[in-house]
Amino acid sequence: MRIPPLRGGHRIQLLEGSREFFPALIAAIDEARAQVLLETYIFDCTGSGADVAYALERAARRGVSVQVTVDGAGTELEDSWRWRLEQAGVQFRVFSPLGALGLLVPGQWRRLHRKLCVVDGKVGFCGGINILDDYHDPNHGALQSPRFDFALRVVGPLVTQMHQTMARQWLRMQAMSRARRAQLVGALESLRASRARVPSAPAAPLATGMPRAKAALILRDNVRNRAGIERAYRRAIGRARNEIIIANAYFVPGRKMRRALIRAARRGVKVKLLLQGRYEYFMQYYAARPVFGALLKAGVEIHEYSPSFLHAKVAVVDGMWATVGSSNLDPLSLLLAREANVVVEDIFFAARLRERLVYAMEHEGTRMNAVEYENRSGLQRAKEWVALGVMRAALAIQGKNYL
């Protein structure tokens, strides 16, 4: 599939962490009059995550249609919260619930990883931030510093596409639910007709009082949109002339992406990567490291973020092109998961994101030393190749080959 063209007429606001994202999201939900659509990989009501749940509850109780989709692997919402939200009228669906064998079943690694919200068809949100408090981690508990992540708030034509994307996903899941209840014929007809039956959203107003940013929504799924996000990255990298900054939580780029970054560095572009510096998951942490050697030799700067977990999936190229979204640059995102990124061409938006990333690299990260990397221990290397082998095996089970 080709990369969608960027359209003008958008007002876009960068939001860092749940401390900025949640207040903006809650304000939009509290102003909702007709509909709230929300998709997230993790929905956790610990800490400030509960504030979002309360906002959804308030909206449903005043008659707003509230439809929430969560991922079956990422979310284990407490029964008390699930009951409370459903009693208020919140419609809840779980994408691909895990069975007894969990992720061991082929196909179960295909997760709903995107984070999207549209309110009344007028304002949209997209990014990497789950409904999860910045200072809480479901696996590691309380965090001393906030998770490093971004989302954006958008008003403009892009919101209509976001709405259609989410409404279509809801209808597909509804059809699948009916099929599981043995209404197979009607469900298949509903699925085939879903494109035509997606309810239209009110037209989003054009931005006023600020520069008309150009933007595009780029999706990744297992049907029509299989490689759009990776292609968008590679196109921007290939066109770069001065600087590429990428912050990515789980960075295991395939050959094409690695070659693009190496070629950019060799033609004089400053290539800087801000990556996960703290151990979070064995496979993602160690599988990334075998690819660092070739990048370091080409002159790519690698900075490891360590104050807290880095969860961002963002980039800035030449101070103009930027992307914020849910997609990691690893095979789980680029080959298996449903993802959503927004690409923005706007000097003001890019400048703010770049400023934050540069600060993180200079003051909150540690630059990787090429000599120390080459002299890392045999135990470290063994862990790396075990992790890479596990990743390759997991992909093979899903019928994929990436590295």
Please report where in the chains the tokens 């409404």 appear, as a residue: 167
In angstroms, rounded to a whole number, what is the distance separating the alpha carbons of residues 281 and 278?
A: 9
Name the residue ranges covered by the structural domains of the chain: 7-197, 217-397
* Catalytic hit among 120, 133, 134, 346: 120
The superfamily (CATH) of domain 7-197 is Endonuclease Chain A (3.30.870.10)
Res. 186: pLDDT tops 90? no
Q: What is the pLDDT of residues 64-119, one digit of tens each?
A: 999 999 999 999 999 999 999 999 999 999 999 987 777 777 778 899 999 999 99
* Catalytic hit among 134, 318, 330, 346: 318
- Measuring CA to CA, how many Å separate 186 from each of 167, 175, 178? 19, 8, 8
Nearest residue to 348 (alpha-carbon basis) of 208, 166, 164, 212: 212
For 178, phi and psi rounded to 5 degrees? -65, -40
217-397 — its CATH code? 3.30.870.10
Alpha-carbon dihedral 167, 173, 175, 179, rounded to 10 degrees: 180
Q: For 88-92, 371-375, 391-395, which range has the lowest pLDDT when averaged over its residues?
A: 391-395
**Share of residues in the chain with pLDDT > 90 (%):** 80
In angstroms, rounded to a whole number, what is the distance separating the alpha carbons of residues 298 and 100?
A: 46
**Does 79 participate in catalysis according to the annotation?**
no
**Side-chain-side CA neighbours of residue 298 (13 Å):** 23
271: which DSSP letter? E
* Catalytic hit among 10, 115, 122, 272: 115
* Catalytic hit among 10, 272, 303, 313: 313
Q: How confident is the model at residue 205 (pLDDT cuts 50, 70, 90)?
A: very low
State residue 175's pLDDT score.
82
Judge if 7-197 and 217-397 fold alike in CATH terms. Answer: yes
Angle formed at CA 108 by CA 102 and CA 110, multiple of 5 degrees: 145
Please tell me whether residue 109 adopts helix, strand or coil conformation: coil
Res. 189: pLDDT tops 60? no
Task: Determine contact, residues 30/52, Cβ cutoff 8 Å.
Answer: no
Q: How far is CA 289 from the centre of its chain?
A: 22
**Does 10 participate in catalysis according to the annotation?**
no
Instruction: Count CB atoms within 10 A of the CB of residue 333.
Output: 26
Per the confidence metrics, is the pTM higher than 0.85? Answer: yes
**Does 115 participate in catalysis according to the annotation?**
yes
State residue 190's pLDDT score.
54
Task: Determine contact, residues 110/398, Cβ cutoff 8 Å.
Answer: yes
Task: Determine contact, residues 206/156, Cβ cutoff 8 Å.
Answer: yes
For 123, phi and psi rounded to 5 degrees? -135, 135
For 277, phi and psi rounded to 5 degrees? -105, -10
**Does 363 participate in catalysis according to the annotation?**
no
In angstroms, rounded to a whole number, what is the distance separating the alpha carbons of residues 340 and 336?
A: 13
- Mean pLDDT along residues 14-41: 98
Q: Using the CB atoms, write b or e for 87-98: b if 16+ within 10 Å.
A: ebbbeebbbbeb
Task: Determine contact, residues 400/334, Cβ cutoff 8 Å.
Answer: no
Q: How far is CA 367 from the centre of its chain?
A: 25
* Catalytic hit among 134, 311, 330, 346: 311
In angstroms, rounded to a whole number, what is the distance separating the alpha carbons of residues 21 and 326?
A: 14
**Does 137 participate in catalysis according to the annotation?**
no
Res. 187: pLDDT tops 90? no
State residue 303's pLDDT score.
98
Higher-pLDDT residue of 100, 290: 290
Nearest residue to 287 (alpha-carbon basis) of 299, 275, 305, 301: 275
Length of the chain as a residue count: 403
Please tell me whether residue 250 adopts helix, strand or coil conformation: coil
**Does 134 participate in catalysis according to the annotation?**
no
Q: What is the pLDDT of residues 248-276, one digit of tens each?
A: 999 999 999 999 999 999 999 999 999 99
First CA to last CA across the chain, in angstroms?
Answer: 22
